[in-house]
Structure 1
C-alpha cells in the first residue's frame, strides 16, 4: 500500500512529504483510563472493560538491588511487553491516533496522497499504521506540518504516548523543496528515498538489485535455480553437497509421493501458490483498505473480482506480479450466483441453484423462424440457472471440499498434469527403513547405478564397489550383463517385515534398466 501511494505521488509529479513516525517507549506509557475509554467507544461492555483493567493494574514488580529482589510495587500505567493480550490493547490506543489523523485529513488540515489512475478521482491516503510503525503522507507545506505537531501534542495529552521527534524522519517526495525549513517545524531528521518500512524497501524500483541485498525473502528466478541446485546436490550427495550423478529429474522429485515423487516443493511453483492467496483475498475482502487502494489505482474488471491489468510503467511491480496469475487462478474457481449483480451472464461459469426466480427474456425484435431453435436451446440452458434475491454473488474454490482457497490445494493443482502409474504404497512402507524405501524408489524409476549407467557417467568402479552401491540393505542383489543390457537380479521370495520385503515386491524377479525415460518400470 505504501509503495502504491508513493508511486502515484511520484507519477503525479507533485512534491510531497513522507513522515516515518516513532513512539517513545510505546508500551510503557499507555494511560489506562484512556485505553478503557477507547474500548468503551468501540462498543466493549463494562464487564469486559473491567476485566482488561484488572489485567493491566494487578501486576506487581520487584527491583533487583545487588542481585536481591526488593521493593515490591504496582505500576500506574503502561502495558507489559511479552504478554500475548497486550499488543491488541496497544492497537486500540493507536486507533485514537488514526482517528485524529483522519479528522485532520477530512478537515483539510493535511492533504494525504491521492492514489488513482487513468483519469479517475482516486482515493486519498493520509497515513498507514502497523502497531507503532506509522507512515504519514502530506504536502510539502509548513502549515500542514504545524497542524501535525498539534495533533501529536493532543494525542500525547490524552494517551500518554509521545512521538519521538528525534527519531522521526521527514522524506521529500519529488524535487525542488528546501527540506531544512520543513524539518525544523517538527524538529525531526531529514531522510531520503529509497527507504524501508516494516523491513521492506519503500520508494525503490521493484527490480533494483541493491534494495534487495539484505532481503532473503525475495527469490529471483536465478536465486530459485541456485537454491534448487543446492537441494539436488544435498539429495544425491548424501547431505554433503557433493557433485554426484542426479538419477531422477527434478520435475519427478517435486511430484507428490503418490505420483512417484518425493514431495519436495518446487520453489517457483510454490511462489505462484502463495501469490494466489492475495487474488482470493482481493475477490472476497471488499472493505479492506489495501483492496481499495489497488482498485482505485488499477480500476476493476467487470464484477470487481480482480483489478484490470497494469500498463507498462503504471503501478508497482509487486501487484503486477500477483495480477499476472489471475487467469490461471480463475480456472480453478467458480461463481455462485446470488442476485446476479457481479456475475456476467455468458462470460463466467455459473453454478446451478435449486431456488430462485424465473427468467423473463425481452427481445428487441421479433424472432426469425431459423432463430427459434437457438432461443429454445438458450432457454434450456438458462432454466437451471436461477437468481437468488437478497444473496450476494460469491467466488468458490474448486480444489477444496469446503470451497475455500488454500495454498496447499493451489500448489497441488500445478502438478496435476503429472500422473504416472506408480506403486507408491508398495515402496513407501512405514516399517521399512527409509534408506531401503529410497533404494526401492530409485529401482521403480529404473535409475539404479548399474555398470552401464556408471560408464555412461564416466565412472569406473570395481565390481565389489558397484555391488555395495547397489545394495545398501545388505541383501543379496546380483548384477548380470548380456547383449541386451545390464540387469539387477532381485530377491525372489517374500520376507515379511524385513528390509528385503519392499525390494522383493519391487524387483519381482528382475528390474530392467531401459533407456532414460520418465515412466516407472515397475507397476
Structure 2
C-alpha cells in the first residue's frame, strides 16, 4: 500500500495501537508499518531509508534503544543485478547500525540466509550468505533464538521449498537488557511468510532451590561453615546480592574520588577507599565465576572470557530450554499449570504405572549360574570414597543441590555420615531411604522445533546419596560384567567398543552377501527401552546369574523407594513413584539393562542349538544377533518358518521383560531376496530398507568396504605383521623381493606351514644376504605353531591390545616431527583474546590489505598507520614505526 490511513491501522491491529509510521510499498511488494501503543511505548526520531525504518524506542522503566524494521529490495530477473541490490541492502544496514550508538535491534524479512540449514534444499547462494554472515559478525549482532520452528517462508508448492528468511538480530547490550525475551512463529494464515511474535515481558521467576557453587571452596571459612551445617544462611550473608554490593562499592568509591578532588581524605577514609577497591575486585571475580559456572561451558576457566560472554550464553540456554508451549493430543497448551499437569500425566503413565507381565522365562535353560556371593560383602570407607572419585565433579545436582565436588572437598567432614547411611543399607533397613532417593527430571529439546513431550529428552538429576549408593553397586557389578555378558553385547562394558559390534555386523553381512542365498537383516527398535523394563525380569536374571539375596535387596531398595518430580521451567511438580523401568542417571541402570537384553541373544542361541532356526552359513558360525544397548540387529533365513520363529521369540521376550519391539520403526533388509521374500517379511509389519543403511551411526553396505573389513581372519605370510608385530617384508626385504606379487597376496601362514610350501614361493637365485634371511625365516617357521583358540583383534597401540580413542589419536601423529611453538601462544600468561590474536597473526588470518586483496575484496593497499608500506601482518607487527 502506498498510503496508510489511521482507520486501516485501527481496523487491522486494534484501537490500542494509536500511533504509527510507515514506509510506502512499491506496487505489491515491500512496505513497512511500524505501529505502537503510545501509553506504553514512546517512539521518536524516525529515520527512513530505502528498505528500512529506524526509530528510537523508550519505555517508562527501561533504557532507550534503537529499532530497525527491514524489507529487502525486490529481486530483478538478472542474477548479477540481484546480488548488487542485496549488497546495497547490506551496506544500508551497516550504515544504520553505525548511526545507532545505543542498544539496537533489527527485524524483518531479510530475504537472505545465514547457514546451510536455513533452507531445506541444497541450492544456496554461498557468496551472499557469506556477506550476510560478515554483516552480523562485524557489529557483533546476535540472532534471537526462534523457538518451535525452523523455517518462516514457504513457496506453497509440492514438495515445498522452506527457508528461514524472517529473523530478529540484536546487539549484546540489547540482549542484556531483554534477557528474558522469547521469539516464536505464528500461523501463516494469509501470507507465505509466518509472522514472528517477540515477547519481551519478564519471565516469571521460579523458586530458587539450594545449589552448591564451586567457588565457595575458595572462600574463607567455608569448611567451618560446612562442619556447622549452615551453608544456606552463610550463602545469603557472604555471596548474596553481589550486584547490589558491586553497585554500592562503585558509588562509595566515586564519592571518595569526588571528595579527593577538593580536599585530602582522612586516614579512615583513605583506608576505607582502599578496602572498597580490594573488595570490588573480589566481588567482580566472584560474579564472573558465577556466570561461568551457570553458562555450563566446561572448557573455559576463570579469565578466559568476559562476563558478558557468559551472560549471553546463559541467556541463549534459557531461551532454548524454556518451554513456552506443549502440544498434547489436538491441543496446544501455553499455561504453566496446564503444561505441568500434562507432563505429570505423561510420565506418570510411563514410570508410575506397572504393566502386568503375561509370563516369565525359564532362565535356567539359558544362563549358567556362577558364584557371586562376594557382592554381598559389607561396605568399606575406601569403597565409598572410590565411588565418590569416579563421579563427574561438575554435573548438575539433584534435589539436595550438592555435587561430587562438594563431597571431595568435605569428605573428612561428612565421611562418618555416609558410613552410617551405608551401614543402615547393609542391614537392609531402608524404610526412610525414600527421602534420599528423590530426583528431578528436566526436559531438554531434541530438535529446534520441539512441540510434544516426545520431542524432549528427559534428564534425571538424582539425590547425591542415592547416586553414590548406586555407584558403589555399579563398581561391584562392573568387575564381573565382562564375564557375564556375551561378546555380542558391547555397550557399557569396560574394554569393549562400539566398533566391535559394527565390524561383527559388517563381516556377517559380507559373508552372507557372498553366499548368494536369501537372508534377512532385521534392525529392531525397542519401545521406550529403559522406561518399559518390567522390574521382576532383571531380578530373575540377577538371581539366575548367582547374585546373593542381599545384593538383590539393595537393588530393590533403590527401585522401590525412587520418586521423581518433573522440573518444568524451574518449577518442580508433584512426585511420581516409580513402578517400572530403570531410572536414567543411576550408574547401575545401564548394566542391568545390558544383562536383561542379553537374554534375547541367549534365546536366539538356544533356538539355533535346538534346530528351531537354521544355521546362517554352512561353512562357519555367524552370530544371529548383535546387541549394543537397545540397538539390536538380527540375521535369519528368508523363509516363512524362520520369520515366524523370530517373531514369536521377540513377542515372547517382550511379554516376559516388557521390552517390546516397535515393528513400525524397525526395518528389514533382504539379501538376494525375491518378491516372495518381500511379501513374507511384510507379515512382520516393518518397512523394508535397502542398502546402504545406518547402523550405530555408521553407514553399512556391501559396497566399497575398507581393507580391514574385507581381510580374511587368516594372516598373509609375506605381508602381514605376524612376527612379533613385524612382517617378512620389513624384516627380510631382500628375500621378500624374490616372491612373485601374486604369492605375496594369497599365501597365508597356515598354507606356508603345510609341508614348508612357503619355500616354493621363492623364485630367484639367492645371494649371500638372501641366504642369511632365508635361514632366519626357516627358523621362525619351524618354531611357529598355530593355535586352535579363536582369533581376536589386537590393537597394537595399547599395552592391553584393546582399542581406545586416545591411542588412536596418538597413532595419527606417529612418525611426525614435533613442534612446540604452540606453547609460546597458548601456554603464556597473556589473556585469551591476546592469545587468539597471536594465533591469527601467526596463521596470517587477520584481515589486512594483503588478505583482502587475495579474496578480491575492496581495500586501501597501504598501511593506515604510516601510509608508506603495503599493509601486511609482518609490517604491522615488526616494521611499522
TM-score, normalising length: structure 1: 0.47
Instruction: Choose 1 or 2 for highest CA Rg.
Output: 2
More RCO (CA 8 Å, sep 6+): 1
TM-score, normalising length: structure 2: 0.30
